[in-house]
Amino acid sequence: MRQPPLDAQARRDVKPVICYPVESLPVPDMKRYRNARTGMELKERIVVPPRDACTYNVPAGHFFRIICEGGSQVGDLNLWNANDLTEKFYSGKTRALHGTHITTGERMWSSFPYLRPMATVTDDTLDWYGIDAFGGSVHDVIGTRCDPYTGQLLSGHDYHHCCHSNLTRALADHCGLPLSEAETHVHDVLNVFMCTGFSRDSGQYFMKASPVRPGDYIEFFAEIDLLGALSACPGGDCSSEHSSDTAACYPLVVEVYSPEDGALGDWKSPAFNAYSRSHGR
């Protein structure tokens, strides 16, 4: 390692600037969403078995909840435009815009070239958690998803009920696609209920036991027609390990709600991103 330069401390002391000031982002109309959710009606309830995944559809203008039932359990969420799988959740840009973890009033953004809100968080019973003394918080967009490739790399074993494989099987079944094709549509997730951060000393990605308890939920407004897939992670509450059958795992529940009649008024889905796509040519 090199000797630090004489002005090393001065360089370290430079104050950071926020990359993307959210003041210039389109503001979600939370008042309208709150009105629409007041009289919302349960339309569908899906139980996601432990160490497996399920798909579900949410029409634009509807709500969906991911609910903890039975025990502390983390979920890995993928979202697609229900009419075009190439528009999918973009974890990295969501992180750049909102930070490492999302909660009420923040949004899940879609991939290029669409880059528009897919879903807005309208309620989160874990919003009290904030950022703990370790730098941990809940509902992260920093992790990727547990997957069998990293498992093979680190342990030399095949494990088939990782979230990546669960999501792949669920999407393949939903769309009638071969596994190899469905897999190409699976993407980095929103880690629902997962408590994570980066260690201050080494910068490593850490997880700790999720604070979620039965009855907790996170709720979203569907900005566009959505296809969702949710995996009940084999890590359970992710307090110790994942990619194995040792952790206690519980089902997760997805509920889809229609909005109160007329409460959305003239609301319509956000348009695709307005960039010309000419890339300077």
Where on the chain is the footprint of Zn ion (CB under 5 A)?
76, 146, 163, 233
Residues 6+ apart with CB under 8 A from 200: 135
Tokens of 59: 């029409």
Shortest CB 203 distance to Zn ion, Å = 22
Please say which residue, 82 or 254, places its beta carbon nearer to Zn ion.
254
Nearer to Zn ion, 76 or 87 (CB): 76
Q: How far is the CB of 66 from Zn ion (least distance, A)?
A: 14
CB closer to Zn ion, 52 vs 76? 76
From the list 253, 193, 240, 219, the residue with the least C-alpha distance to 70 is 253
CA distance to 55, 77, 106, 112, per residue, from 177 (Å): 14, 19, 32, 23
Q: Shortest gap between Cβ of 24 and Zn ion (angstroms)?
A: 34
Q: In whole angstroms, how close is the CB of 162 to Zn ion at the nearest point?
A: 6
Closest CB to Zn ion among residues 192, 233: 233
For residue 181, the Cα-to-chain-centroid distance in whole angstroms is 22
Q: Say how far apart CA 269 and CA 250 lie, in whole Å.
A: 34
Identify which of residues 233 and 253 has a Cβ nearer to Zn ion in the complex: 233
At its nearest, how many Å lie between Zn ion and the CB of residue 177?
21
Which run of H or of E encompasses 46?
strand 41-48
Is the bond preceding residue 113 a cis peptide, omega within 30 degrees?
yes
The residue among 36 and 163 lying less far from Zn ion, judged by its C-beta, is 163
End-to-end CA, the chain: 44
* Alpha-carbon span 260 to 266, nearest angstrom: 14
Can you list the positions of beta strands (E) in 146-225? Answer: 190-198, 205-208, 217-222
Task: Write down the least CB distance from residue 183 to Zn ion, Å.
Answer: 15
Beta strand 41-48 with 252-258: parallel, antiparallel or unpaired?
Answer: antiparallel
The CA distance from 248 to 101, in Å, is 24
What's the one-letter identity of residue 23?
E
The rounded distance, in Å, linking the Cα atoms of 176 and 174 is 6
Complex with Zn ion: residue 44 or 69, whichever CB lies closer: 69
CB 174, min distance to Zn ion, A: 19
Q: What is the nearest approach in angstroms of Zn ion to the Cβ of residue 209?
A: 15
Q: Tell me whether residue 111 or residue 165 sits nearer to Zn ion (CB atom).
A: 165
